[in-house]
Amino acid sequence: MGRTLRALAVLVAAVLVACVPLVVTSPFYLQIYTFAGLNALVVVGLALLFGYAGQISLGHAAFVGIGAYTCAYCTVTLHLPWLVAIVAAGALSGAGGLILALPSLRLKGHYLAMATLGFGQLMSLVFVEAVGVTGGVNGRGGIPFPSLGPVVLRSAASLFWLVWAFVAVAVIVAYNLTSARPGRAMRAVHGSELGAQASGVDIVSVKVRTFVLSALLAGLSGALYAGVVGFVSPSSFTLTTSIGFVAMTVLGGSGSLTGPLAAAVLLTFVQYLDSLIPGLPQAAASKLQTYQQDIYGLAIVLVVVLAPRGLAGAWRRRRKGVGTA
């Protein structure tokens, strides 16, 4: 019964999300919801990596950047079709993930955090310095809208649907993984590496595959971002961005996909509170935006101290409480 109910809830949520462009006509609002989807796509991967496999990455903005610049370079410089560009973006960011993961996932805990942090910093330097490819600090403009053959997705609504379709596929793939052997292997690695090895789990392989998948999803998000906005610059792929992703994942809770998904949408909205809440005074809104990083940081600290299992854990606890009462 619980299972049917959950499937129904997911279906209703999917239909609601799909209907958003029918209700919201302002392109500006739609773009905010599209950005929420772009963040959600990254966070689905991080939910697997951090929430299931227990491996932290402080550098995922770098993979988003690799995807975005690959898309920009393929379409603008090489005049390749968008479909080729996004495949290349996914492949390159996945490959970047593999190159980083192979040596660093043999490391444990803090060392992995350090390695991903260093990689993120290194890549943000590359984005600025590799002027020939990235356009340097000025970034790259004139990136065409996503297109499939003759069909060009230029309306805000079609971009919204495109991004959220990617999110839907990512969620389905991630859900399939978590409910089968790889998902148990990830949680086993998280639970006890000693025990996982003793149970025949190839822990390096599990970590590397999960990392590569999360890097690939981040790269796809970056490529979609490039098409949606038409312009990419290094300021979008900094440590701050990476920390934002971590905040969404941690706030969402470990061992869950819906929690991080909800947190990704919520924390994206924090950036645009002034336009989402019509009555909000300008002063309050600008304060919120000034302290956005602090809000993220505070969210991480509060979750870790008060509710280590995040939104998902709080939800499960509430359900359990109601059930037993």
Partner 1 sequence: MSLLQIREVTKRFGGLTAVDAVSFDVFEGTIKAVIGPNGAGKSTLFNTLTGYDRPEAGSVRCDGRELVGRKPRDTVLIGVARTFQNTQLFDELTAAENVMVGCQAHQRRGFAAAMLRLPSSAREDRDARAEAGRLLRLIGIEEWLDTPAFDLPAGIRRLVEMARALATKPRLLLLDEPAAGLSAGETGELVRTLERVRDGGVTVVVVEHDMGLVMEVSDEIVVLDRGRKIAEGPPRMIQKDPAVIAAYLGEDSDDA
Q: Is 181 in the site for partner 1 (CB under 8 A)?
A: yes
C-alpha–C-alpha distance, residues 201 and 207, integer Å? 11
Among 65, 144, 182, 222, binds partner 1 (CB under 8 A): 182
Min dist. Cβ of residue 208 to partner 1 (A): 11
Q: Is 120 in the site for partner 1 (CB under 8 A)?
A: no
Per CB under 8 A, the segment of 72-80, 96-104, 120-128, 185-193 that binds partner 1 is: 185-193
- φ/ψ (deg, to 5) at 256: -145, 150
Min dist. Cβ of residue 304 to partner 1 (A): 17
C-alpha–C-alpha distance, residues 110 and 69, integer Å? 29
Min dist. Cβ of residue 216 to partner 1 (A): 12
Instruction: Count interface residues toward partner 1 (CB under 8 A).
Output: 28
Min dist. Cβ of residue 196 to partner 1 (A): 7
What part of residues 228-287 is at the interface with partner 1 (CB under 8 A)? 254-255
Min dist. Cβ of residue 175 to partner 1 (A): 9
Contact 141, 230 (CB under 8 A): yes
Q: Is 60 in the site for partner 1 (CB under 8 A)?
A: no
Contact 260, 43 (CB under 8 A): yes
DSSP class of residue 291? T
Q: Is 314 in the site for partner 1 (CB under 8 A)?
A: no
Q: Which residues contact 216 (CB under 8 A, 6 or more apart)?
A: 45, 63, 90, 91, 93, 94, 97
Say how many C-beta atoms besides its own lie within 10 A of residue 44's C-beta.
Answer: 28
Query: By C-beta, is 186 or 229 nearer to partner 1?
Result: 186
Contact 43, 245 (CB under 8 A): yes
Q: Is 168 in the site for partner 1 (CB under 8 A)?
A: no
Q: Is 188 in the site for partner 1 (CB under 8 A)?
A: yes
Strand partners, 148: 151
Q: Where are the beta strands (DSSP E) in 121-160?
A: 147-148, 151-152
Binding residues for partner 1, per CB under 8 A? 173, 176-177, 180-185, 187-188, 190-192, 194-203, 209, 213, 254-255
